[in-house]
Structure 1
Amino acid sequence: MIRPSLPLVALLAVATVSAGELHGIQPGDINRNADACTDFFDYANGAWRQQNPIPDYMDRWSRRWESGEVNKEHVRDILTELSAKTDWPQGSAGQLAGDFYAACMDESRVDALGSKPVQPWLADVDAIQDTAGLQREIGKLHAVGVTVPFGVYASEDLHEPSKTIAHVYASGLGMPDRDYYLKTEPRFVEARAKYLVHVAKMFELAGLAPEQAKQDADTVFAFEKRLAEASFDNVQLRDPQLQDHPTAFADLAKLAPAFDWAAYFDAANMPHDAVNVMQPKFVQQVDKELATTPLAQWKPYLRWQILHAAADSLSRPFVEENFAFNGKFLAGTTQIKPRWKRCAEATDNQLGEALGQKYVEKYFPPEAKSRMQEMVKNILLAMDDTIRELDWMDEATKKKALEKRATFFPKLGYPDKFKDYKGVVVSRDSAWDNVVAASRWNVADNRSQVGKPTDRSRWGMTPPTSNAYYNPLQNEIVFPAGILQPPAFDVTATDAVNYGAIGVVIGHEISHGFDDQGAQFDAQGRLANWWTPEDNKQFQAKGQCVVDQFEGYEIEPGVHHNGKLVLGESIGDLAGAKIAYRAYLKSREGKGPEPTLDGFTPEQQFFIAWGQFRGDETRMETQRTMIQGDPHPVAKYRVNGPVSNLPAFREAFQCKADAPMVRAEKDRCEVW
C-alpha cells in the first residue's frame, strides 16, 4: 500500500561509466521503438517478450516466470539426486522427498494403475447409508485436504492472534468461484457448459456409463450452484470484518444443527473451543443440504470432488481431461507441463520443507541473506519517514501507524527449524497414495495448533517457493529463498536494480500492513480500529482514487478490472515503488551515486528493473480469469499503474506533463 505524498527527492547527478563489476538492467530487453512515457510496460521489456513467446505449457511468461521455471530445475536436480538413492533411512527427508518424486515420475506405473488408487475412496462414498455415514465421509475427506463442502483450518484468532483457533470456511466448488455459476455474461455461460462436459467425462473415466455420467454431472452442478449462491464473492472475501464471526462451540449446533460438530472435532483431534465461522450463511446452507438433500445427490458430488482432487495423480486420461478444462479452457495453455515439472511442484507442495534445507544450502548463500536484511531494514526505515511526513494524518494516528511498523517481523529465506514430517509413510508404489499420506500429515499438523499459543516460527510457504506474503495477524513479511533469485534479487546487480525489483516487492509486502485490509489490524495483529474517524475517511478517499484508476483499465473491450478487488495489491504496488525508491536514495547516502550503465541513470535503472521484473506476457484466457477473481492486476497495469502516479518516474524519464504515463495532478493517486 501506499501513503500520500513524499516531498520530491532531488535526483542525484551521476557520471557515465562503463559497466563494472555490478551489472545494471537488461538493456537488450528494452523495446527501443517504444516510449517510456507512453507505455512503460512495452518499453521496459517489450523486446524480450517479442523474442521469447510464452511456452505452450505456461499461461504467462517473463524473465521472472522463466526464473521460476529454472528454480524448478534446481528442485528437480535435488529430487533426482535424492530419488537415485534407495537406502535412505525410512522416514528421513531424503526418503520421503525422493520416493514421493520417484513414484510421481513412474508414469508407466501410474498409467497401469488407472483409476485403481482412487476406487476405494469412491466405494466408500457409494457405501454411505445414512446422514451419520455422510458426515463421517466428509470428515474423512477433510483429513486428507479434500475440503467439501466446507473446510476447517487452524489460524490465529482475529482478536487474540497470540492464540490459534479453528476457522470454518466456505469451500467445495469445482470452478474458480461463485460467479462462474451465477453470472450471465457469455464467458460464464460458456464455462458452465464446458464444466458439465468435463465433469461427465471424468465420471466416465472412473467407470460410469455415459448417460449416468451426464446425469451425475447435472446433479453435481446443481449442488455446487446452491453452494455458490450462499458464498461470498471475491470482493467480499477481501473484507476481514465480513468474515469475523466468533462462535462458542456450543453455538455451532444452533447455527448448523444437522451436523455433529462434536464428533467431527473429536475425530480431528481438535478441542471443543470457540471457533470463527467465516461465512455463517454458507454454513447454514450446508446444514440445509444435510437436512434436505437426498444421499443420491450427495454421492455424485462427493465422488466428483474426489476425482477433482485426485486427477493429476492418476493415469494419463485423467490428467489430460483435467488439463483440457483447467489448462486449455481456463488458462489458455495448449500443452501440459512436462511431467518432471509437475512432479517437482507436487513434491514441493506436499513435502517442501523435506527438500528445503538442501535447496537453501545450494541456492541461497549467506551473503544473499545479509544483503536482503540490509534492504529490508532500509525500506522499513523509508516507510517510517513516509508515515511521519504525511500531511493528511494526525499525530495520534501517526503514532499508532509507527507502532505497527515497529512490530514488523521479517522472515528471509527459510525457517529456523524445518518440519520433520514424522509419521508420514511414502513409498514408490502409488503416487496418489503418497499424496494422501502427505496431505493427511499436513492437515493433522495444522489441526494440532488449535487451542495452542501461536507458533511464530511456522512458515506459510516452502523455501523453494518463488513468491512472498504478508500476514496481518502476525504482522510478518516473508520472502522464501525461491524468490530471492535473479531477476528479483541478484548479488551481482547494482543497488538500483535490486531496489527496483525485490525492493519494490519488499515495499509491497510492507505496504500490505497498511492497505485496505491490513490497515484494519493493529500493531499486535488484532482486528481492531486504530484510526481516528477523520483520518480513516481520508484513507478511504485515497483508496477510492486507486479503485477508480484500475476500473479504467480494460483487457479487451468491455472487460475491465474490478477496482475494489485489486485495491489491496494496487496500493501495495504503488506504495512499494514509492518507498523502495526512497529507500534506494537513502541507501546511497555517504556512498555517492551509482554510475550510469548502458546509458541509463541509476534512477532509470530502478524503474526499468520494476518493469522488467513485472513485465509478464499473459494469455488472454488467463487475463480473463484474473480479472474475475485475482486480487492482483494483470501485468501491464501492475507496471504502468503505480509509476504513472510517481513524480520520480516522470523526472527519471523527463516525461512531459501530458504524457500517457503521467497522470494529471488532479487524478494522481497517493495513499502512502
Structure 2
Amino acid sequence: MAKVLISLSVLTAAATAGSVTELPESVTKLIDYSINPCEDFYQYACGAWYKDAVIPPDEYNIDTSFDEIEVQNEAVLKKILSGNKPKLGEFYNSCLDTATLSSLGLSPLEDSFKAIRSANTSLDLIIVANELAKNGIPAFMNIISRIDDNDSTKNALFGVPAHLPLGRSYYRNSSLWETVQADYKVYISTVLQLAGYTAEKAAAAVPVIIRFEQTLAGVAPRELKEVEAAVSPYTVLTFSQLNQKYPLLIGSSLKAHGFDIYDQWNGSNDWLGFFDLTYFDKAEVLLKNTTLDNLRTIIEYKLIHASSNHLTPEFRTANWNFIGRRIYDEKAEPSREKFCRYDTEHTVGELLGQYFLDEVFPADAAKKADELVKALRSSFSTGIATSDWLDNSARAKAQTKLSNFVHFLGGPEKPQLFPTLTFDSKAYLKNRWKASQVKIDTNLKLNGQPVDRREFELLSYEANAYYNHNKNQIVFPAGILQKPFFDGEFDAAQNFGAIGTVIGHEITHGFDNKGRNFDVDGNRNPWWSNATSAAFNTKAQCLSDQYGNFVVTSEVTGADLGNVSSKITLGENIADNGGLKTSFRAYHEYLKKFPSQYTEETGNKLFYLSFAQAWCSKNTDKYLLALFKTKYPPQRFRVTGALQNDAEFARVFQCPTDSYLNPSKKCLLWE
C-alpha cells in the first residue's frame, strides 16, 4: 500500500456544463416524495427503499450501504476461498468438513479437560486456564500490548478484564436479565451435556456459573466509565508487585506468557498499565473465595463455550440457538459456508485480505481516494482557522496536529501471513488455536518496542474506517472504498456526500472529546487553555443535550425503547457533525476548479441525499436495543442530528426557521 500524490482533477472528470437538474435514478428510487424533507429528511431520503426492504431471516437489520458493500465483498471473498489458496484452503476446508468434526467429537478438548481435572489447587487450575488464554480463550483477564498513551513512540503492556459470554448490561440490568436468563440456563445445560455432563451435574453447574459471571460483571468497568478511562491516566505496577498483589489473577497469567514475575533481570518494560484496578481487586478476592470444584466447573464451561462454534454441528447449533437467535434475534442459522467464511475472515483475515486487495483496489482507485482525503484535510484546516472559540495557541496547535495526520488506504503493508504455520484440513479447532497463538505471541512481543505508525489495524475487506489518536492516523480499508460510498465514476457530489462525510468524520475524531486530549505526537497531553476547554465543553454539552432528547422507537410496534445514550455517543456525534460540514465545504472548494454537470441546487441536494442514503436502515428491536450499549446512535439520528445543526442544509432545501430540521438553536463545534 503506497501513499500517492496526484492532481485533484482525477476525482471525477470535469464537466463542461452545469445545467443538469435531474438526479441519478440510483438516488431517486430510494426517495419518498410524500415526505417533507424539512420535517423528516431521513424518511424523505430513504422512505421508498424502506417500504420494500426486508430484513433477511439470519440478520437483525438491513441497510443501503454496508449491506450492499458486504454482498459485493463477500462475492469476491467466496471466489478467493473457492480457489483453494495455500494455507487459506486448508483452514477454510477444515471448517467446512462437518463429517470430520462429528467423528472427532470432543477429542480436540481432551487434553485440556485432562489438565483442568487433574489440577489439585486453585493456583494450578488458574495456571491451566491461563494456558488456554494462549489459544484465544482468556478466562478472567487479558494481557495485551498497545501504544503507551504517555509515550506514543513505544508499545506497553496493559491488563484488561476478559469478556463474558453476554454483554455486561445483561447481568447488571435485572429487567434485561429476566428476558434471557431462562434461555441462558438452557444453553449452559445443553453444551455441558454435549460435553459429557449428566443432566443432574449440568443442572447443578448452571447456578455456579451464572453467579460467578454476575459477580464479575458487577465489578467490571461500565461502558461510560470505559470511555472516560481512555482519556485518564493509568496505574502502573511491576510484574513483581502484581504477582504479590494478584497471584491468582495476574501473576499466574504473566507466568503463563513467559514473563519474569520475580524481576530477576530488572527490565525496564516489566510492568502492566491499568485504567481501573477495581475489577482486578475484586476478581482476585472472588477467585480466592471460590471452591476448587466450582472453579473447575467455571473454567470447563469457559472452554466449552469458547469452543462450541468449532466442534460438532450439534455444538454449533446450540450456540446459535442462544447467541444468534436469542441475543441477536437472527431468524435462521447461517449456512455452514457462510459461517466458515466469517470464521476464516476472523482468524486468518490478513492472509485472505492480500488476495482481496489484488481483486478490488487498483492503483487508479487508490489515487482518487487519496485525493479525497487530502481535500477533506484541507477543508478541516479551513474550519480550524475560522473557529473563533479557539484561542490563538490552541488554533496553532490544532493546525499542527492536523498537518501531522497520516492516512493509509487499502490494506496493511506487512500483513500477518503465518509463514511458520501449516494448517491441517482435518483439524479445525487446532488450526484456530495455532493461529491465535501466533497472533497473541506476536502482540506480546511488541512490549517495549517502537510503535509502527504505518500499522493497519483493520482487515482490507472491512467496510469500516478509524482514527487512531496515539498514532494521529486515519485508515480507510479497500472494503469501504466501494459503491455506494465511493466510485471513480460518481459525480463529486456523491463521493463527497457519502465517503467524504466518512473521511471528515474520522478527521474530526482527532479533535473530539477523546482526541482533543492527545497532542500532535499522539501522547495524552492536553494542549488547551482553560478558557478554550470550557468553550469546547459548552459546545459539546449542547450536542449531548440535543442527542439525549432523541427517542428511539420500535420500528415494529412504535413503542418507546429509550433515549439515545448521549454521553456514550458524544464522540461519534461530534464526528458526524464535523464530517458533514467539512465535506460540504470540501465539495464546494472542488467545484471552484472542476464544475459539476449539475446545477448548483441539484448538486447540493445530491450531496445531502448521498449523505443520508448512506445511512438508510431497517432494524429489529434487538438491533436498536443493542445500540444502547455501543458508542453509536441509531442511523436515523446520525443523519437527523447533524442536519439540524447545518445551516447549509436548511438553505439548500429552503427549510423554514424552527422547522424540525432547521431549529433556531444549533449546536456548533467543528464547522
Q: Which amino acid aligns with 1:248?
A: T
CA distance in 2, matches of 1:114, 1:501: 48
Larger displacement relative to structure 2 (570-579 or 349-358): 349-358
Deviations 1:244-284 (A, max 9, x none): 22333333235424456377256346875222123211111
Q: Which amino acid aligns with 2:595?
A: G
Q: Which amino acid aligns with 2:454?
A: S
Paired position in structure 1 for 2:27: 26
Paired position in structure 2 for 1:665: 664
The residue matched to 1:235 in structure 2 has which SS? helix
Deviations 1:444-500 (A, max 9, x none): 111121121112232211111111111111111111111111111111111111111
Larger displacement relative to structure 2 (288-297 or 396-405): 288-297
The residue matched to 2:188 in structure 1 has which SS? helix
Paired position in structure 1 for 2:610: 609
Q: Would the alpha carbon gap of residues 279 and 297 (structure 1) be closer, same or farther in structure 2, given more than 3 Å must change?
A: farther
CA distance in 2, matches of 1:367, 1:269: 47
CA distance in 1, matches of 2:389, 2:111: 63
Q: Which amino acid aligns with 1:602?
A: G
Q: Which of 126, 132, 146 is 1:141 aligned to? A: 132
Paired position in structure 2 for 1:511: 508
Aligned pair 1:589/2:592, yes or no?
yes
| TM-score computed with the length of structure 1 as normaliser | 0.91
CA distance in 1, matches of 2:182, 2:504: 43
Paired position in structure 2 for 1:577: 580
Paired position in structure 1 for 2:47: 46
CA distance in 1, matches of 2:626, 2:113: 31
Aligned pair 1:311/2:312, yes or no?
no
Within 5 Å, which residues of 2 pair with 1:242-641?
Answer: 242=232, 244-259=234-249, 261=251, 264-265=254-255, 267-268=257-258, 273-556=270-553, 557=560, 559-596=562-599, 601-627=602-628, 629-641=629-641
The alignment's C-alpha RMSD in Å is: 2.2
CA distance in 2, matches of 1:365, 1:654: 41
Paired position in structure 1 for 2:101: 110
CA distance in 2, matches of 1:326, 1:66: 25
8 Å contact kept, 2:239–2:272: yes
CA distance in 2, matches of 1:364, 1:462: 13
CA distance in 2, matches of 1:650, 1:322: 49
Paired position in structure 2 for 1:152: 143
8 Å contact kept, 2:644–2:666: no
8 Å contact kept, 1:170–1:278: no
Q: Which amino acid aligns with 2:632?
A: H
8 Å contact kept, 2:383–2:670: no
Instruction: Give 1:25 deviation, angstroms.
Output: 5.1
8 Å contact kept, 2:384–2:670: no
CA distance in 1, matches of 2:501, 2:416: 30
The residue matched to 1:36 in structure 2 has which SS? coil
CA distance in 2, matches of 1:488, 1:393: 33
CA distance in 1, matches of 2:384, 2:124: 57
Instruction: Give 1:66 deviation, angstroms.
Output: 2.6
Q: Which of 171, 176, 188 is 1:181 aligned to? A: 171
Deviations 1:47-95 (A, max 9, x none): 12222311111121122213213311211110111x2xxxxxxxxxx32
Paired position in structure 2 for 1:75: 77
CA distance in 2, matches of 1:468, 1:653: 30
8 Å contact kept, 1:180–1:192: no
Q: Would the alpha carbon gap of residues 208 and 596 (structure 1) be closer, same or farther in structure 2, given more than 3 Å must change?
A: farther
CA distance in 2, matches of 1:518, 1:480: 21
Within 5 Å, which residues of 2 pair with 1:83-98?
Answer: 83=84, 94-98=85-89
| TM-score computed with the length of structure 2 as normaliser | 0.91
Q: Which amino acid aligns with 1:425?
A: T
Unpaired runs of at least 5, structure 2: 1-16, 261-266, 554-559
Deviations 1:148-184 (A, max 9, x none): 211111101110011111110012411112x211223
CA distance in 1, matches of 2:599, 2:136: 53
Instruction: Give 1:120 deviation, angstroms.
Output: 3.2
Q: Sequence identity of aligned pairs in percent?
A: 26
CA distance in 2, matches of 1:643, 1:168: 41
Paired position in structure 1 for 2:655: 655
Paired position in structure 2 for 1:16: 19
The residue matched to 1:660 in structure 2 has which SS? coil
8 Å contact kept, 1:269–1:448: no
Q: Would the alpha carbon gap of residues 561 and 70 (structure 1) be closer, same or farther in structure 2, given more than 3 Å must change?
A: same
Aligned pair 1:229/2:232, yes or no?
no
Paired position in structure 2 for 1:643: 643
Q: Which of 204, 207, 212 is 1:218 aligned to? A: 207
Paired position in structure 2 for 1:124: 115
Larger displacement relative to structure 2 (613-622 or 267-276): 267-276
Unpaired runs of at least 5, structure 1: 1-13, 84-93
Larger displacement relative to structure 2 (273-282 or 494-503): 273-282
8 Å contact kept, 1:421–1:441: yes
Paired position in structure 1 for 2:58: 57
Q: Which amino acid aligns with 2:72?
A: V
The residue matched to 2:54 in structure 1 has which SS? coil
Paired position in structure 2 for 1:88: none
Instruction: Give 1:655 deviation, angstroms.
Output: 1.4
The residue matched to 1:392 in structure 2 has which SS? coil
The residue matched to 1:501 in structure 2 has which SS? helix
8 Å contact kept, 1:511–1:571: yes
The residue matched to 2:273 in structure 1 has which SS? strand
CA distance in 1, matches of 2:150, 2:580: 31
Instruction: Give 1:377 deviation, angstroms.
Output: 0.4
Deviations 1:263-313 (A, max 9, x none): 725634687522212321111122213322212121222122222222221
Paired position in structure 2 for 1:3: none
Instruction: Give 1:19 deviation, angstroms.
Output: 7.3
Instruction: Give 1:122 deviation, angstroms.
Output: 3.1
Instruction: Give 1:316 deviation, angstroms.
Output: 2.1
Larger displacement relative to structure 2 (269-278 or 586-595): 269-278
8 Å contact kept, 1:44–1:611: yes
Q: Would the alpha carbon gap of residues 411 and 211 (structure 1) be closer, same or farther in structure 2, given more than 3 Å must change?
A: same
The residue matched to 1:53 in structure 2 has which SS? coil
Instruction: Give 1:573 deviation, angstroms.
Output: 0.9
The residue matched to 1:108 in structure 2 has which SS? helix
The residue matched to 2:197 in structure 1 has which SS? coil
Larger displacement relative to structure 2 (112-121 or 542-551): 112-121
CA distance in 2, matches of 1:148, 1:365: 43
Q: Would the alpha carbon gap of residues 258 and 434 (structure 1) be closer, same or farther in structure 2, given more than 3 Å must change?
A: closer
CA distance in 1, matches of 2:604, 2:25: 11
